[in-house]
Amino acid sequence: MTTIYLDNNATTAVAPEVLEAMLPYMSTLYGNASSMHTFGGQLGPVLRAAHEKVAALIGAEPGEIVFTSCGTESDNTAIMSALEINPHKKHIITARVEHPAVYNFCKHLARKGYRITFLPVDNMGRLSMDAFYKALDDDTAIVSIMYANNETGVIFPVEDIGTALRERGILFHTDAVQAAGKIRIDVKTLPVDMMSLSGHKLHAPKGIGVLYIRKGTRFCPYIIGGHQEHGRRAGTENVASIVGLARACELAMENLETESRHVSRLRDKLENSLLAKCPDARVNGDVKQRLPNTTNISFEYVEGEAILLRLDEYGICASSGSACTSGSLEPSHVLIAMGVPFTALHGSIRFSLSRYSTEPEIEKVIEVLPPIIKELRMLSPYGREKLSGQLCKP
């Protein structure tokens, strides 16, 4: 059975070009870039070139790029840095729909005595700008708002937020882990101070991330040790992954517009066909301001996990809005924040496409999913009762 991989917001396949670029640094060129000898020292220019290539993807300068171990580390580091350099400020503003890398970290900081404002979103997942302006005060150390949401793909008004914060001299961090490589980002015009990226969301390997730190931004490292990354992130450089990420950024930049058209056309075909074939299905999130590769669809009166298991039988990989935590199925905090009704909360499925997604794959999902929904609704007493007479057209 071939795999139909539509879970690219979870992770992506390493591009063959990326793997090819990495291989020498996992075999013959295994030196430590900090070594005095030529064998290790030859990696210095390689790392410098990688900074340049990653910087180019977001319009940054090479010196503004710091390699980390993942998007989560970048997010934690940005927030901690703001708190360290503003020790008298105890307030953080973020959103209710952030990835756990920010959301749970802020909850952790709340337990340590910081005051956190989790901004609400409307039923289309859009941030309340009124609440944002009201939340700002002299005690605010940092605002961390994601560029685009991982579950719904909704894109946030980072430019407006950054402009407001710059006027007030408040630090702004954005988690662009899902946005980078999918939509054009240019920090030359975007008023952000720090931005997080993650390699494995753009066809580089797992375990490599980036924190963009605008030149002139006061910064305090989170991982302390050696002098790597100009003293901003200690730890021997993961040269192979850094090279891989640099190659992935080049590829993303070269193909951004073509890829965006490719994935959005297939995504729209999938979404429209499923909505047409399945009654009581709805798209979660603002469809106008959305990443081109993502759709989050709720099939009411069925369990997302049951759908995923059935799709898995066909080799189709997607993900659900619920997280199976310690035996209990908790609905997604993102969909809860959006006020998605109970009947739709548990039946949400996220499809996220990539440059490797194909038309036949999408057609296969359109063929197999509606009968699965119909069958699962027949099994559910609530679904049967509610939907008698108007089940999915196979």
Binding footprint of ligand PLP on the chain (CB under 6 A)? 70-72, 75, 99, 101, 146, 150, 175, 177-178, 198, 200, 209
Least distance (Å) from ligand PLP to the CB of residue 385?
37
Q: How many Å apart are CA 226 and CA 236, to the nearest integer?
A: 8
Write down the H helix ranges in the chain: 16-26, 38-41, 43-58, 71-85, 100-111, 129-135, 158-168, 228-231, 239-277, 304-312, 333-337, 342-345, 359-379, 381-387
Least distance (Å) from ligand PLP to the CB of residue 198?
3
Note whether 125 and 284 are within 8 A (CB).
yes
Q: Nearest to residue 176, comparing CAs of 152, 164, 151, 158?
A: 158
Least distance (Å) from ligand PLP to the CB of residue 312?
20
Least distance (Å) from ligand PLP to the CB of residue 342?
25
Q: For residues 8 and 357, which CB has a smaller minimum distance to ligand PLP in the complex?
A: 8
Amino acid at 24: P
And the tokens for 240? Answer: 């192979």
Amino acid at 270: L
Q: For residues 196 and 357, which CB has a smaller minimum distance to ligand PLP in the complex?
A: 196
Q: For residues 175 and 300, which CB has a smaller minimum distance to ligand PLP in the complex?
A: 175
Q: For residues 152 and 228, which CB has a smaller minimum distance to ligand PLP in the complex?
A: 152
Q: For residues 178 and 217, which CB has a smaller minimum distance to ligand PLP in the complex?
A: 178
Q: What does the angle CA 140 – CA 144 – CA 149 come to, to the nearest 5 degrees?
A: 150
Q: How many Å apart are CA 51 and CA 65, to the nearest integer?
A: 6
CB neighbour class for 379 (10 Å; exposed up to 12, middle 13-18, buried from 19): exposed
Q: For residues 150 and 354, which CB has a smaller minimum distance to ligand PLP in the complex?
A: 150
Least distance (Å) from ligand PLP to the CB of residue 176?
8
Q: How many Å apart are CA 217 and CA 219, to the nearest integer?
A: 6
Nearest residue to ligand PLP on Cβ basis: 71
Least distance (Å) from ligand PLP to the CB of residue 229?
17
Coil, strand, or helix at residue 336? helix
From 106, 249, 317, 324, active-site residue: 324
And the tokens for 185? Answer: 């980002």
Does the annotation mark 70 as catalytic? no
Active site residues: 324
